Amino acid sequence: MAGFVLSSDQQAEFQQNGFVVVESLLGAEETSLLRDIARADHQMAADAASRADGEGGAVKLKVSNDLPEDEIYGAIVRSERIVNAMETLLEGEVYHYHHKMILKEPRVGGAWAWHQDYGYWYNNGCLFPLMASCMIAVDRATKENGCLQVLKGSHHMGRIDHGKVGDQTGTDPERVEAALERFELIHCELEPGSAILFHSNLLHRSDQNKSDNPRWAFICCYNAARNDPYKESRHPQYTPLEKWPDEKVLTVGRAHWESVRPSTV
């Protein structure tokens, strides 16, 4: 939804619960363009990595630090509605830390172990958890196809130790068991184009996709400018992020689709 601004109630919800759901953050055409472009993006599919989940499945994902100006991905990351929301929630200037597409395919899409994003990013030289993500549903996300699960309010626990779970990095199982007894488990079922904005210390996971429907999601990750990492890592240090008017998602998206759409000849 172009021109979206977080309400005071939504800001309070984020601070208390560690996340807030925004219905229809992207409009219908924006969502269709994102889905169609991603499905036709053979380079993204070729570059996607596979991470075993330790449960017999694997998750495919494509992570990128780059922000091309002629792709819908970069237009969404720069979109004022999202950047302004992140700056409100993190109380200051933010920059693009990275973005990724999660490709959870029907019947074979793997699970994500319980984890905190800051459990990873802490080791990249980020001193504070002044970081958050915006996950946009590309497909309808349901319990059946492995939607995001969160422990409401668990970000107040602070950073928890992480270790290997399959090819992934997951939270200390003992701490997770204790947290499950104290925090409400929420399944974040989303319609395409709807989003969840969540704190980097929020405990979250997802089940395997055992349905006949794909569950792709686009995730934009941001770091506070004042939390510039003290060392180099796989994700970038601070560079100013240019905000784009929300309308550019459609403008760039339409042009991007014309460049990748399958030939009808």
The one-letter code for the residue type at 154 is S
The answer to whether position 140 is within a domain reads yes
Whether residue 30 contacts residue 138, with contact meaning beta carbons closer than 8 Å, is answered with no
Predicted pLDDT at 264: 61
Give the total residue count for the chain: 265
The answer to whether position 1 is within a domain reads no
Residue 72 is encoded by which pair of tokens?
């819908």
Predicted pLDDT at 220: 98
Q: Name the DSSP letter for residue 225.
A: G
Predicted pLDDT at 159: 95
Q: pLDDT digit of tens for each residue in the chain (265 aa)?
A: 778 999 999 999 999 999 999 999 999 999 999 999 999 997 887 788 877 666 667 778 899 999 999 999 999 999 999 999 999 999 999 999 999 999 998 987 678 889 999 998 999 999 999 999 999 999 999 999 999 999 999 999 999 988 776 666 788 889 999 999 999 999 999 999 999 999 999 999 999 998 999 999 999 999 999 999 999 999 999 999 999 999 999 999 999 999 999 876 4
First CA to last CA distance, the chain = 35
The answer to whether position 105 is within a domain reads yes
Predicted pLDDT at 166: 64
Cβ neighbours around 135 below 10 Å, total: 24
Question: What CA–CA distances, in Å, run from 254 to 130, 167, 193, 250, 259?
Answer: 34, 37, 16, 6, 9
The answer to whether position 101 is within a domain reads yes
Q: Residue 48 belongs to a domain with what CATH number?
A: 2.60.120.620
The answer to whether position 9 is within a domain reads no
Question: What CA–CA distances, in Å, run from 222 to 51, 149, 236?
Answer: 23, 20, 11
The answer to whether position 111 is within a domain reads yes
Question: Which segments within 105-202 are labelled E, that is strand?
Answer: 112-115, 131-137, 148-151, 162-165, 168-171, 185-188, 195-199
Q: Name the DSSP letter for residue 141.
A: B
Q: How many domains does the chain have?
A: 1
Predicted pLDDT at 54: 62
**Distance between CA atoms of 149 and 215, rounded to whole angstroms?**
14
Predicted pLDDT at 265: 42
The answer to whether position 5 is within a domain reads no
**Distance between CA atoms of 233 and 56, rounded to whole angstroms?**
30
Predicted pLDDT at 167: 65
The answer to whether position 173 is within a domain reads yes
Domain of 208 in residue numbering reads as: 15-225+237-260
